[in-house]
Amino acid sequence: MTYVDGFVAAVPTANREAFRQHAQMAAGVFKEHGALKVVECWGDDVPEGTLTSFPMAVKRKDDETVVFSWILWPSRQARDDGMKAVMADPRVQPDKNPMPFDGKRMIYGGFEMIVEA
């Protein structure tokens, strides 16, 4: 069954192009290691909440934009194997391709798809 990794992060708005380039390069690495699709979305209509919200979840600052991303894998096993390979790939190591945002505030998780319409 198809598997999805989801991510939400706050990226300095001034780093939009650097983030796009970083994400474009990383997407190629993920696909080489088994991902079917990689999607990166720049926040355009992401409201502040009173109890919960994307901005609250990532502690977004005034000069940051929320990004929402997902990676589609053919299965959980393909994701586990692919993610190990990606994390070992020298092209995505922080010294070669540093993240243009604070990775400590990124939230992520793996999800089994139960409905696809």
pLDDT value of residue 81: 98
Domain-located, residue 117: no
Query: What CATH number should be reported for the domain holding residue 104?
Result: 3.30.70.100
pTM of the model: 0.93
Domain range for 106 is 3-112
pLDDT value of residue 95: 86
Distance from C-alpha of 93 to C-alpha of 99, rounded to nearest angstrom: 9
Which of 57, 69, 75, 66 has the alpha carbon at shortest distance from 23? 69
pLDDT value of residue 107: 97
| DSSP codes, 66-114 | EEEEEEEES-HHHHHHHHHHHHH-GGGSTTTS--SS-GGG-EEEEEE--
pLDDT value of residue 1: 83
pLDDT value of residue 4: 98
**For the chain, how many structural domains are there in total?**
1
Sites in the chain below the pLDDT cut of 70: none
Domain-located, residue 35: yes
For the chain, give me the number of helices (H) and strands (E)? 3, 4
pLDDT value of residue 96: 83
Do residues 93 and 24 touch, judged by C-beta distance below 8 A? no
pLDDT value of residue 97: 82
pLDDT value of residue 56: 97
